[in-house]
A and B are shown apart, each in its own frame.
Chain A
Amino acid sequence: MKIKQISIFLENRKGRLYDVCALLGKNDINIRALNVAETEAFGILRIVVNKPDAAVKALKDAGIVAKITDVVAIEVDDRPGGLTDILKVLADEDVNIEYMYGFVEKSSDRALMVFRFDDVDKAVNILKKHSIKIVTEQGVREL
């Protein structure tokens, strides 16, 4: 139920994000979700793609520092309070969110959000228990 996110270490240098995106495009890899955590000197680019293993290989071959981390993609009702319902479940069950961000596209009338938890397996079990819909790796490929 977990999906693969690729974290990429990027120093703050002109054109660096372009380089990475161009490389992925050239390798026919489609970005589904994207987030940049930035500090003064560097950024961590986090992406969910249709072909994570191929993406990591292409990045590493190009000498780019990249690491796969497990995240969970959750379908959120696209209505006021939709996200709140999910956050309440997680808070009540004592699950910590490290960060989250949205998908580029929507699945029907639901928004897709990427969640990174400190304990991913525990989070997945709790989400399942509460019948919150999680998008699988297969699901990401088919978006």
Chain B
Amino acid sequence: MEIRYWNKEIETADREKLRQIQLQRLKSIIASALKTPFYSRRLPSVGIHSPDDIKSLDDLRKIPFTTKDDLRQNYPKGLLSVDTSEVVRIHTSSGTTGVPTVIYLSAKDLDAATDIMARSIYATGTDKTDILQNMMSYGLFTGGLCMHYGAERVGLMVIPAAGGNTKRQIQLMKDFRTTVLHITPSYLLHVHSKLAEYSVAVSDLALKKAFVGAEPHSENTRRKIEDLFDIDAYNSYGLSEMNGPGVAFECVYKTDLHLWEDAYIVEIINPKTGELVPDGKEGEVILTNLIRHAMPLMRYRTRDLAFLHKESCPCKRTHRRLSRILGRTDDMLIINGVNIFPSQIEEVIMKIPEVGTNYQICVEKQGALDRLIVKVELYSKIFMGEAKQIDNLKAKIADELKASITLKPAVELHEPGVLPVFEGKAVRVVDSRPKL
């Protein structure tokens, strides 16, 4: 198999060399972090007053974990190290409540993130002769824009199709001879189910590859996608807090994801004790971003569960491989690639006077796609006797939820007392999707 490297020296550097790069970059990140309101309080409290207090990579472990809650409490500018005049881009992702988490990128940060994205794309054997149809949402979500920039850097022709409108997506694939898709696995399966409806056969398309990500999926799902479309599907991993989809990516061997260790320090911990677990053992992924200075983020608790492979990869890259994401340590739901916390939904519902306080969140599969149903009870005193009022109320709840969680759920209004009541810990989320 032909192995192509975007940056051979870095991608195949020996582990000692990688550690040197990590240490030098960590010190530089510490310098930036000390300029932020958040880390300028937190780092001195553990004896780190300057980059020189980091003598070896082991000193990283002196730094306390940073959590999503820290980001929320320091929203919007508590982790910003530079004046906003130095910032060229922001992205946000869902917070556990109405407050999102935000990242800032300087021109230099964006350049570094784009380069890592380009490296990921190139590692799959994709090159400038390819045509990428980017079917992730553009906007505040990192998945769309960050992939777009990386693909342009490799020199691909990029079709910024964004999500939705399946008919147009298929038309674009046909008209422009798309060779690579960037898409969530569930949406890709949905696209396949629609091909017949538009009288298009897989053989009418020029697809060769898909970069699938933004939601956990199994090896079986990958195989199904590969069989249905006769393509290679490459798993990708990223999160907006770490600049989006290029944190880890599969190479042509498709045996889990090379995590770019010159750009990120990865630790796998026992989520209960915070202790490191050895390679091969499952735990929570902790990431330190080494390439973003406008908003440094160190030892970030991703809440994703995975493990690092011990064995090397035949591609000769020395960057360790991260397994598929095996689960979460919190209650975050991933619905058609959108991250949603039940607490975000609760916050919205509790502000609507026409519904009671009991609610239920149901997630199910409808064909290949996920479907979110929010069930609430009608507050009896507000009922005016008209069906129109009920319809308007349902629309209002759906709209307000969409404003918070970005996707529009189906809303069910029930009679009071119908939804289950819990005496102990309430089970508000019923996820009936098949387990991975």
* A residues apposed to B, CB below 8 Å: 5, 7, 9-11, 13, 37, 39, 41-42, 44, 46, 60, 63-69
CB contact list, B385-434 vs A, under 8 A: 385-387, 390-391, 412-418
Contact of B413 among A5, A41, A60, A67 (CB under 8 A): A41
State in angstroms the CA–CA spacing of A13 and B417 once bound together.
14
State in angstroms the CA–CA spacing of A10 and B413 once bound together.
10
- Asked if A44 contacts B387 (CB within 8 A), the reply is yes
Q: Give me 16 other A-B pairs in contact (C-beta within 8 A), A7-B385, A42-B387 excluded.
A: A7-B383, A7-B384, A9-B383, A9-B390, A9-B415, A11-B414, A13-B418, A37-B387, A41-B413, A42-B413, A44-B385, A44-B387, A46-B385, A64-B415, A65-B383, A66-B383
Chain A residues, Cβ within 8 Å of B417: 63
Query: Given the known A-B contacts A10-B415, A41-B413, are A65 and B386 also in contact in the complex, defined by CB atoms under 8 Å?
Result: no
- Asked if A39 contacts B391 (CB within 8 A), the reply is yes
State in angstroms the CA–CA spacing of A69 and B413 once bound together.
21
- Asked if A41 contacts B412 (CB within 8 A), the reply is yes
Contact of A65 among B387, B391, B412, B415 (CB under 8 A): B415
Asked if B248 CB lies within 8 Å of chain A CBs, one says no
B229 → chain A closest CB, angstroms: 35
- Asked if B385 contacts A39 (CB within 8 A), the reply is no
- Asked if B384 contacts A65 (CB within 8 A), the reply is no
Q: Chain A: interface secondary structure?
A: strand
Chain A: CB-nearest residue to B380: A65
Chain B residues, Cβ within 8 Å of A9: 378, 383, 390, 415
Residue among B378, B386, B418 with most chain A CB within 10 A: B386
Residues of chain B at interface, number, CB under 8 A:
16
Chain A residues, Cβ within 8 Å of B412: 41
Contact of A63 among B383, B384, B386, B416 (CB under 8 A): B416
Residue among A9, A39, A41, A69 with most chain B CB within 10 A: A9
- Asked if B385 contacts A67 (CB within 8 A), the reply is yes
Query: Given the known A-B contacts A7-B385, A9-B390, are A65 and B418 also in contact in the complex, defined by CB atoms under 8 Å?
Result: no
State in angstroms the CA–CA spacing of A120 and B390 once bound together.
22
CB contact list, B356-385 vs A, under 8 A: 378, 380, 383-385
Query: Nearest 4 A-B pairs (CB), nearest first?
Result: A7-B385, A67-B385, A69-B385, A65-B380
State in angstroms the CA–CA spacing of A30 and B390 once bound together.
27
Query: Would you mind naming 18 contact pairs between A and B with Cβ atoms under 8 Å apart?
Result: A7-B384, A9-B390, A10-B415, A11-B414, A11-B418, A39-B390, A41-B413, A42-B413, A44-B385, A44-B387, A44-B390, A46-B385, A60-B380, A63-B417, A65-B383, A65-B415, A67-B384, A68-B385
- Asked if B413 contacts A11 (CB within 8 A), the reply is yes
State in angstroms the CA–CA spacing of A42 and B417 once bound together.
15
State in angstroms the CA–CA spacing of A7 and B383 once bound together.
9
State in angstroms the CA–CA spacing of A67 and B381 once bound together.
9
B361 → chain A closest CB, angstroms: 17
State in angstroms the CA–CA spacing of A68 and B384 once bound together.
8
Chain A: CB-nearest residue to B416: A63
State in angstroms the CA–CA spacing of A60 and B387 once bound together.
19
